[in-house]
Copies of this chain bind each other. A is one copy, B any other.
Amino acid sequence: MAKQIKAESNLSTEEKIKEAARVVFTKKGYAGTKTRDIAEEAGLNLALLNYYFRSKEKLFEIVMMEKVKQLFSFIAPALNEEETSLDEKLELIASSYIDMLIKNPDLPIFVLSEIRNNAESFGKMIQSKGYVLKTHFIQQLAEQKKDINPIQFFLNFMSMMIFPFIAKPILTVAGPVNDETFTQLLKERKALIPKWMKMMLE
């Protein structure tokens, strides 16, 4: 029995291709993805990729743009929220961002590897340079604790949220972690990371 690639759906052909491209590109990266992989994943004829999207590269750019947004623009607004305290920001961001990453565990490693391969062309995708340092989040941080470098603090925050997803393959292969315990670990981190970040401020 030939394996069913995807449940038939009422998506448009164009959208089916895009969705398949998301799946395959995210899993295998640009260089590792063959246009035939995407066609098969979508259950569609190979020529349709070029019919709807001109080229592999154009299709990739669309997916990449989406994924960069998904990874970054998620945090940006929360950092600039005027209403919330620094502690609240840490809690809200950690909780929602980790939830998002649990649903998209391949997202960080995908975006970060691809950016490395093509650093220049992603300058455009990123909004104004130095945005992070001008946010309310950083202001609040500077007020509360003057002797910590805001970049270092922010880097710690991002590290602790994102790195586990990048290291997941190692943790499951080498360490005492399987798919379930990994998710459990991550859920715990939603509350733990803000706690640890606050400890660093004392």
Contacts of A119 in B (CB 8 A): 169, 172-173
> In the complex, which of the residues B32, B112, B151 contacts A109, with contact meaning CB atoms closer than 8 Å?
B112
Residue of B nearest to A71 (CB): B170
8 A Cβ contacts from A102-143 to B: 106, 109, 112-113, 115-117, 119-120, 122-123, 126-127, 129-133
> In the complex, which of the residues B129, B164, B174, B199 contacts A155, with contact meaning CB atoms closer than 8 Å?
B164
Residue of B nearest to A156 (CB): B160
Cβ of A5 under 8 Å from chain B: no
Assembled-state Cα–Cα distance A188/B166 (Å): 24
Cβ of A58 under 8 Å from chain B: no
**A26-38 vs B: 1/0 string, CB under 8 Å?**
0011111000000
Assembled-state Cα–Cα distance A171/B32 (Å): 25
Assembled-state Cα–Cα distance A176/B127 (Å): 13
Copies in the complex: 2
Cβ of A1 under 8 Å from chain B: no
Contacts of A96 in B (CB 8 A): none
8 A Cβ contacts from A84-114 to B: 106, 109, 112-113
- A29-B31, A196-B200 in contact; A113/B113 too (CB < 8 A)? yes
A-B contact pairs, 15 of them (CB 8 A): A29-B29, A30-B32, A32-B117, A115-B169, A119-B172, A122-B169, A132-B175, A133-B176, A149-B188, A152-B188, A155-B160, A155-B185, A159-B162, A159-B167, A163-B166
